[in-house]
A and B are shown apart, each in its own frame.
Chain A
Amino acid sequence: MAIITISRGSYSKGKEVAEKVAERLGYECVSRDVLLDASDRFNIPEVKLVRAIHDAPSVLDRFKHGKQIFIAYIRSALMCRVANDNIVYHGLAGHVLLTGVPNVLKVRIIADMEDRVKAEMEREGISAEDARILLQKDDEERRKWTKTLYGVDPWDISLYDLVVHINKLTISDAVDCVCQAASKEAFKTTESYRRKIKNLGLACQVKAALVDPFFDVGVTCESGNVVIYTGAGERQVNKLKKRAKELEKEIEGINNLEVHAGVPIPEDAL
């Protein structure tokens, strides 16, 4: 009935909240599974995908577009899961990877630094100072990642529908709040939302199939009609058209596929 993404920092109790929300609502709880799906489907080692979605892009990455390629793979795998509805995703960057999906309940779970430090100390057996440094570095890496690739700060509360601070509110209270929010009308999956998600899923699959080597294409999809936008030169466009023809047969559910060259890429294109 709903799609829930739970954004969190390390040791912020977001994982526990996500698992309990999924259990209570009878939803699928997904995190690392998306990376495993992407790893299987595109034959990329999981560790490379983890790095792509966690570490901020280096200067070299910006030229090689490696991260954009891996992210397109991860996004495609996530959209396949989301298409089944009734899902809680608490992996990295759910709020940006699911941009365009209309009924997502975007939740952020935060916890006090001191509590996070304690949890990290217990788990890693390190001093408080080391734990704090690790957490700060991890937070900074996540912030840089989203800022560089999507131009938004994951700590900006306006990105979320609900932010719950685990302090006075317990994990169980947070679960209540999230479940209650998920039952609200705005987050119910309607037939038109289902169609939109299906189209987005198709666009993601096409983008993932093209992104290496055509990393700068934009893809949109409406009622199964896929349009690929490119600003590349004639030779590249011919190559792209040839690959697009193959994709039409490879990917299920495409009605029609067109390549539009030399026109501006729409804002909502993937």
Chain B
Amino acid sequence: MPIIIISSDSYRTGRDIGEKTAQTIGYDYVDRDILPPVCEKYGVQEEKLLKALEETPSFLGLSSKLRSKYLAYIQEATLGQLLDDNVVCHGLGAHLYVLGVSHALKVRVLSEPESLARELFSEALTSPDKARKIIKRYEEQRKNWSLSAFNLDETDPSNYDMVISLAQIDPDEAVKTIVDTAAYRKFQPMTYSIRCLQDKELASRVRVVLMEKFPDVKVTADRGTVVVETKAVKREKRKRTEAIKELAGSVEGVRYVEVHVTTDIFRQAAESAR
């Protein structure tokens, strides 16, 4: 059965629709409730993981390096849950990293504009114009967040199969549309799409293991073969390759590790200049 991934401009709206969809279709519902075990496993405060899901890196907030690490933890946990199938997932940014998995139905739900503005801005709103401006500013923030975290614009409709606005459509009717769409043939799991998801899950586990020592790594997987891309100065290449092979090889499900090291030209230049 398919995986349904819900994204929304409001966490509250997304959760409501996600829970109702899961209830209607009899699926499990996966949301930020999966984060406490992640916090325990990696010794991170939940507040920081939530920040990584909401904020762009800043001088006073999370650094870029830390945010990538926290997002990698979340990604690993989420993909693990999605492997179970029959799942409705919301609030974990899955629409931005579950790519190329054909049995994942991705839906964006847009809240009723006034209620979203009220949610974002607790003071009384004086005009619809002001509400529009607040929503626009928030959308811009989310766009920046998704671009900086996953290089994808979460407000771009081409990243979804469907976008439903609740401005005129009732939430229950939106749920019915999602449930009916999930039944379409193209969203039924196939051997290939299941394998794609398994590969993503394995790559995410390897990345978490490597990130502590090599934060810049890019990892892909294909039936147990893991390809790791990283940068290093010439003299470190061999050492780094060996270390990565050892660490990645220890992850369950990995059969072969391939490491592609490119020269870090900036570090190389800096070292030559010394």
What residues of chain A have their CB less than 8 Å away from a CB belonging to chain B? 105, 108, 110, 112, 155, 157-158, 160-165, 167-170, 173, 176-177, 180-181, 184-187
Q: What is the distance, in angstroms, from B258's C-beta to the closest C-beta of chain A?
A: 29
**Given the contacts A157-B110, A181-B169, A165 and B160 also touching, CB distance less than 8 Å:** yes
- Tell me the complex Cα distance, A169–B162, Å: 9
In contact, B165 and A160 (Cβ under 8 angstroms): yes
* Cβ A186 vs Cβ B108 within 8 A: no
Residue of A nearest to B9 (CB): A158
**In the complex, residue of chain B having the shortest beta-carbon distance to the beta carbon of A187:** B168
Chain A hits for B186, CB < 8 A:
168-170, 173
Q: In the complex where A157-B110, A169-B186, A180-B180 touch, is A112 in contact with B158 (Cβ < 8 A)?
A: yes
Nearest-neighbour CB distance to chain A for B131, whole angstroms, equals 12
Q: Are A157 and B177 in contact (CB under 8 A)?
A: no
Contact of B181 among A169, A185, A186 (CB under 8 A): A169
Q: When each residue 146-189 of chain B gets 1 if its CB lies under 8 Å from chain A and 0 otherwise, what string results?
A: 00000000010110111111011110010011001100101100
Interface check B249, CB cutoff 8 A: no
Binding site for A on B (CB under 8 A): 102, 105, 108, 110, 113, 135, 155, 157-158, 160-165, 167-170, 173, 176-177, 180-181, 184, 186-187
- 27 pairs across A/B with beta carbons < 8 Å? A105-B168, A110-B157, A155-B157, A157-B108, A158-B110, A158-B113, A161-B168, A163-B160, A163-B162, A165-B157, A165-B158, A165-B161, A165-B162, A167-B161, A168-B161, A169-B186, A176-B180, A177-B177, A177-B181, A180-B176, A181-B177, A184-B173, A185-B170, A185-B173, A186-B168, A186-B169, A187-B168
Cross-chain contact B102 with A162 (CB below 8 angstroms): no
B175 to chain A, nearest CB (A): 12
Which residue of B has the minimal Cβ distance to A113? B158
Known: A112-B158, A170-B186, A173-B184. A184 touches B170 (CB 8 A): yes
Contact A161 B158 (CB under 8 A): no
Complex CA–CA separation, A105 to B165 (angstroms): 11
In the complex, besides A157-B165, A160-B163, A168-B161, 19 extra interface pairs with C-beta distance below 8 angstroms are A105-B168, A110-B158, A155-B157, A157-B110, A158-B110, A158-B167, A161-B164, A161-B168, A162-B162, A162-B164, A164-B162, A168-B186, A169-B161, A169-B162, A169-B184, A173-B181, A180-B180, A181-B173, A186-B170
